[in-house]
Amino acid sequence: MNANKGKPLLVADEYTFKLNKATTTTKYWICTINVCAAKVHTDLTNLLMKTAGNHSHLPEKEKIE
């Protein structure tokens, strides 16, 4: 999925994440809600590897549609 500005977004468990950093083996994603501490790590094919932190808000179902 892509954001309005064409940047990549990841959807996991009804939450959206924006790409924060990418290395040669891992992509690091942060929640699109700025005050939320939830993070996700994926491999280069966006396969979920690790989750960290908890969401401080409800799922973003309307944003995903």
Please measure the distance between the N-terminal and C-terminal CA atoms of the chain and give it in whole angstroms: 11
pLDDT at position 49 is: 95
For 12-62, the pLDDT digits (tens) are 888 999 999 999 999 999 999 999 999 999 999 999 999 999 999 988 766
Number of domains in the chain: 1
Average pLDDT over residues 3-20: 86
User: Where does the pLDDT of residue 4 fall: very low under 50, low under 70, confident under 90, or very high at 90 and above?
Assistant: low
Would you give the distance in Å from CA 30 to the centre of its chain?
5
Domain that holds residue 15: 9-54
Q: What is the pTM of this model?
A: 0.83
Residue 31 lies in a domain: yes
> Are 25 and 48 a contacting pair, CB within 8 Å?
no
Residue 15 lies in a domain: yes
